[in-house]
Structure 1
Amino acid sequence: MTSERADRTYHHGDLRRAVLAAAEEVIRAEGPQALSLRDLARRAGVSHAAPAHHFKDRTGLLTAFAAEGWSLFADALQAAPDLRERGVAYVRFAREHPAHFQVMFQPALLRTDDPALRSAIATAGEALRAGVAGVPGADAPHPRLAGVAAWSLAHGFASLLLSENLDDALEGRAPEDAFREVAAMLFAPSEPAGG
């Protein structure tokens, strides 16, 4: 291979970003099981071996993709002012980043000991826990369960939304508005007994 051809083949600009973007397209359309480094290289216009320089293998690519997702997710959660709006941010993130959402919660696909992944997950976890602090019930004997309740509601709603199981129930409402209504129904202040 000539030097000029090698330069055209391997010098891509931001190959890492291009491969992650191509991975997002494939995952959105066909799911993570459809990913192959060879196909992503073709889509990015580079040699079939080039992505391996950044990701080593398919698991490395999915791990980097999940770490990117967790970082974006943490940013979205941190921007929300309270627990309900963090739930809204959770739903919005799933709707706007369905490929990331799909991969982030499948540890069997990932190198769960990867430092970048662990750091991004920890940052997102802190944002979730901060949203629960100060909420009635969060200081109960099992404060972590209050966090699990909030997480379950947002994650369940987002998962049902992405699988199109809420289409009829939304009745034309924006998913974020519907989530606010659901959260208000379930977490409304309780009435005093007998009154």
Structure 2
Amino acid sequence: MLGPLKKQYHHGDLREALLSAAEAALTDLPLEAVSLREIARRAGVSHAAPKHHFGTLGGLFAELAAMGFERFVSELAMAAQRVSDTSPHVKMQAMTRAYLRFATSNPAVYGLMFGKRVELEPSPRFAMAAVAAWSQLENDVAKIVGPQQAINGSLLVWSTCHGIAMLMLEKRMPPHIDPHTAIEAVTRMLIAGLRAEGAA
């Protein structure tokens, strides 16, 4: 008896299909239940296909995390561009709101991006994408506090956004706090503090 037919993909399409299947598996299953075999099954291809394209599960996850950072940079940039007010602090508020939207809309990928319980294979694409995300934030913070305080200011903003995002994802946000309202208020406080530091 013949086994089930495997889907036919062009090379680039297969790679994208495997990444989509991996993201879906991470969304549906505990991390420890996600394997190359499970990803191949979801993509409808041979068990050897993920290994051929990515080598290991860590290699596939690194590629997915790199794509996550690239999407992250794009979405934050678009959020800043959409606001009619061009002042740096208004753009920063838009970016922090976009940060939470990205994290809560893409929890599986967000977890990979920040190394949640998984070892990623070394990846130049991942390294470049992560640096691009940091550079984007540092450039925008520098417009508020000046270049000398940009690194510390960026660390403050990113740490705050990440902390709120993780409280939301882990369902540890106190029930009386609306995180979307909170990020507005917290960002205003951050900007006021950054401006005061920049003027000191």
TM bucket, shorter chain: 0.7 to 0.9
Q: 2:94 aligns with which of 78, 85, 91?
A: 85
Q: Paired residue for 1:71?
A: 70
Q: What TM-score, normalized by structure 1, do the two folds share? A: 0.81
1:74 partner letter: V
Q: Structure 1 residue 152 and structure 2 residue 159: aligned?
A: yes
Q: What TM-score, normalized by structure 2, do the two folds share? A: 0.79
Q: How does 1:61-140 map to 2 (within 5 A)?
A: 61-81=60-80, 82-106=91-115, 109-112=119-122, 114-136=123-145, 138-139=146-147
Q: 2:6 aligns with which of 3, 6, 9?
A: 9
Q: CA deviation at 1:30?
A: 2.8
Conservation of the 8 A alpha-carbon contact between 1:10 and 1:50? no
Q: CA deviation at 1:101?
A: 0.5
Q: Structure 1 residue 48 and structure 2 residue 58: aligned?
A: no
Q: Can you list the C-alpha shifts for 1:149-191, whole angstroms capped at 9, x where unaligned?
A: 1111111111111111126133xx4x43331122224444699
Secondary structure, in 3 states, of the residue corresponding to 2:175?
helix
Q: CA deviation at 1:70?
A: 0.7
Conservation of the 8 A alpha-carbon contact between 2:68 and 2:113? yes
Conservation of the 8 A alpha-carbon contact between 1:42 and 1:48? yes
Instruction: Report the count of equivalent residues.
Output: 181
Q: CA deviation at 1:37?
A: 0.5
Q: Structure 1 residue 168 and structure 2 residue 175: aligned?
A: yes
Q: CA deviation at 1:139?
A: 4.7
Distance 1:128 1:186 in 2: 14
Q: Can you list the C-alpha shifts for 1:22-73, whole angstroms capped at 9, x where unaligned?
A: 2112212334332201111111111111121211110111011101101101
User: Can you give the 5+ residue segments of structure 1 that lack an aligned partner in the other structure?
Assistant: none
Q: How does 1:14-53 map to 2 (within 5 A)?
A: 14-53=13-52
CA RMSD, Structure 1 to Structure 2 (Å)? 2.6
Distance 1:169 1:182 in 2: 16
User: Can you give the 5+ residue segments of structure 2 that lack an aligned partner in the other structure?
Assistant: 81-90
Conservation of the 8 A alpha-carbon contact between 2:7 and 2:44? no
